[in-house]
Amino acid sequence: MIELLRGDPEFERAVVEGSFNALLPAERPEIVVRPRSETEAVAAVRAVAAAGQRIAVRSGGHSWVAASVRDGGVLIDLGALDGIGLDTERMTATVGPGVRGARLSAALEEAGLAFPVGHCGDPGVGGFLLGGGLGVNWGHWRPACFSIERMRVVTADGELRTASPTENPDLFWLARGSGPGFPGVVTEFELALRPLPPCIRVETLSYPLDRLGEVTRWLTDASQDLPTNVELSLVTAGSPDPAHPFVVGVAATVFAGSVAEADAALAPLHGAPAAHRGRPADPLAHTAPADVAFSALHEAVDATYPRGARYLADTFWTDLDLHDATAPLAALLERAPSKRSYVLAGMPANGAGAGLVTPGEAAYGMHDRTLLIVYTIWEDAADDAANRAWLDEVADALLPTATGHFLSEADLRHRPDRVPGSFAPADRARVEHLRGHYDPDHLFHGFPALVL
């Protein structure tokens, strides 16, 4: 097992490995260990427990709040556990937590298979799945954690356990949604796969930001007729065009069996049926539906997250429709200190998102009609305060109508209320009870601490 101590020339790089965010906490562990096998991961947990130290866990290191960078103790970096095994007959995959979404998509595509991999190619499946996993086609395939069949977990007592619907079901329940609060080390996931959709197409449009209301009204209306295999996303962001410094972009991705099925699925976005107000005229840009490979879906998304920039983000679920949910934003977006900052809005299952998750099914139970994800992205440390203030202002505007948060991208370090707010109210006590049950001595650091 590779071990690096504070003071080692490689130590600092090992601590921030995987993070693309230059705005990192000052906390540092004493030791970073990199197990190369499950056996070494078990040994690491036992050794840290015996030494009375605490553990932080990392798979891909992509958490923007750097949840794995904690003060003292040992950081267990599982990046080397990155095996992918496919069973094409059973349609399952056995994957290590360090596997990146992009690599998984490519392996699945080659085998004619699919999975709700993350929209971004960089996150490790470890953190992605534990946080719920809002992957591609999630309105149809559901959040990815519901496609986990089984996992192997080293718990705080140093035992290697299987968690599944029939073995340690409480641990399985907790692992599907407790994200950075999960008290264990997952060494392997078994995932249920789908056949690769033969036809994946993407259509995009953009409009000036001052037409946000018109666009969201159209999408809210049209989405009522869109099948769940059409994934709509709306992004408001800065643009290099001086005539339109801020724009609203729309992307509709369809996962279909054929071109004819894809065309029929997208039809509600094209025509102007009497019941709808129709698509707003004169977009700034429009690309007609075009084929995209499953393994390339993440590329456009990755391009919006430059490595080495400074990031703050937050998330808001609401039971409002897209139009009403985004209404408070227009004026705020134009005042964003960085034109790279943006708001991403989605309506899983095209408005039926609240029903995608059965209450009590897993710790991932905070789900609603519309999800807004705000990212502030800038370069210069001198602009930190202005960007922090802007995100706070956006949060203040969205909080009155928010029903909860999405744990994996919420502002956990600055807003401690985001942790309970990321679980369904009925599940909060169970999450805390099970975390205490599996880790009574707080061996694992758990949810990121507040750092002011």
Ligand X SMILES: Cc1cc2nc3c(=O)[nH]c(=O)nc-3n(C[C@H](O)[C@H](O)[C@H](O)COP(=O)(O)OP(=O)(O)OC[C@H]3O[C@@H](n4cnc5c(N)ncnc54)[C@H](O)[C@@H]3O)c2cc1C
Kindly list the residues in this chain that would bind ligand X in the complex (CB under 6 A).
56-64, 67-68, 78, 97, 118-120, 123-124, 126-128, 130-134, 179-180, 182, 184-186, 305, 408-409
Determine the Cα angle at 81 with ends 76 and 86, to 5°: 150
> With respect to ligand X, which residue has the nearer C-beta, 175 or 395?
175
> With respect to ligand X, which residue has the nearer C-beta, 63 or 206?
63
- State the minimum distance, in angstroms, from the CB of residue 110 to ligand X: 22
- State the minimum distance, in angstroms, from the CB of residue 60 to ligand X: 2
- State the minimum distance, in angstroms, from the CB of residue 273 to ligand X: 31
Residues 6+ apart with CB under 8 A from 264: none
> With respect to ligand X, which residue has the nearer C-beta, 229 or 408?
408
> With respect to ligand X, which residue has the nearer C-beta, 172 or 207?
172
- State the minimum distance, in angstroms, from the CB of residue 42 to ligand X: 13
> With respect to ligand X, which residue has the nearer C-beta, 130 or 431?
130
- Phi/psi at 217 (5° precision): -65, -45
Give me Rg for the CA atoms of the chain. 22
Tokens 């919420």 correspond to 410
Task: List the 342-346 sheet strands across, edge first.
Answer: 285-291, 199-208, 246-256, 230-238, 342-346, 370-378, 310-318
- Phi/psi at 317 (5° precision): -90, 145
**Percent helix, percent strand, percent coil in the chain, to nearest 5:** 35, 25, 40
- State the minimum distance, in angstroms, from the CB of residue 374 to ligand X: 12
Q: Are 374 and 312 in contact (CB under 8 A)?
A: no
Residues shown for the chain: 452
> With respect to ligand X, which residue has the nearer C-beta, 322 or 371?
371
> With respect to ligand X, which residue has the nearer C-beta, 55 or 254?
55
Q: Which residues of 406-426 are buried (b: 16+ CB within 10 A; e: fewer)?
A: bbbbbbbbbbeebbbbbbbee
**CA–CA separation, 14 vs 5, rounded Å?**
10
- State the minimum distance, in angstroms, from the CB of residue 322 to ligand X: 18
- State the minimum distance, in angstroms, from the CB of residue 258 to ligand X: 27
- State the minimum distance, in angstroms, from the CB of residue 132 to ligand X: 6
Task: List the 148-155 sheet strands across, edge first.
Answer: 84-87, 92-95, 184-192, 148-155, 160-163
> With respect to ligand X, which residue has the nearer C-beta, 132 or 283?
132
> For helices 212-223 and 259-270, what crossing angle results, to 10°?
130
